[in-house]
Amino acid sequence: MGNLNGRVALVSGSGRGIGREVALKLAREGAAVVVNDLDPEPARRTEQDIIAAGGRAASCVGSVAEDGFAERFVATAVDSFGGLDIIVNNAGYTWDSVIQKMTDEQWDTILDVNLKAPFRILRAALPYIKANPTEYHRKVVNISSVSGVYGTAGQANYGAAKAGVIGLTKTLAKEWGRYKVNVNAVAFGLIITRMTEVTADANAQLTIDGRDIRVGVNPDRMAMASKTIPFGRGGTPAEAAGAVYLLCTPEADYVNSQCLVVDAGRV
């Protein structure tokens, strides 16, 4: 019997990185998980890994920013597993530039993925939550960033979106308390994923949703950043997932409207 036995969870962006580890962790604790990724292959891989370990999973492939995705995501949970108890809004990415060089497309894209998409998913979930009250507390964990708490040069779009996630969290915590839903956020510092891996290639890129996005951290910059972290290193996706899991547990039933900064005490 896991700590989340019988719960049903949505985890956006769970084909890779932090989202994958969140999905695997929730599944190990007994939750049925709806996995999401832009690309079918990583989504199916996470789904299959959960099932192979004895868990329950289904996939909902596609961009969280697409019109109609939120309703499809919620419907997958209800149709596949008969409920919806946990929502982890994790999907997102960065597209950096100093403000004088940032285009409207960069601004709009990052706001759409990191802020508008969580808003739409939560809006789509509410009719089901209202119509199906539970004796236990449901959980929402929205993923923010230290960029949204303290600001990061070159990330006006991402910082604004992640600050907005915190505002959305605190507002819904007040609106949804009547439905026995805890709404919290986690703001991550340096977590080592495919977006932040060390690389000496100044032109390293990933293609995300049809866009070529620069990724990676220069070795010298990583070494400098690591010196400012008390543990001397960035966090792992599994460590990041642990913080999300904590806010999904029954032990966190009286934790609401909080933004947990997970940066190993760097700031």
Positions marked catalytic: 158
Q: 62, 92, 95, 112: which is closest to 188 by C-alpha?
A: 92
d(CA 243, CA 249): 11
Check residue 256 and report its DSSP letter: -
- CA-based torsion, 259, 173, 118, 164: positive or negative: negative
d(CA 138, CA 150): 29
List, in order, residues 6 or more apart from 186 with CB less than 8 Å away: 141, 142, 143, 144, 240, 243, 244, 247, 259, 260, 262
Give me 132's structure tokens. Answer: 């199906």
Burial code (b: 16+ CB inside 10 Å, e: under 16) for 127-138 equals eebeeeeeeebb
List, in order, residues 6 or more apart from 176 with CB less than 8 Å away: 126, 129, 140, 183
E strands, 1-130, are 8-11, 32-35, 57-59, 86-89
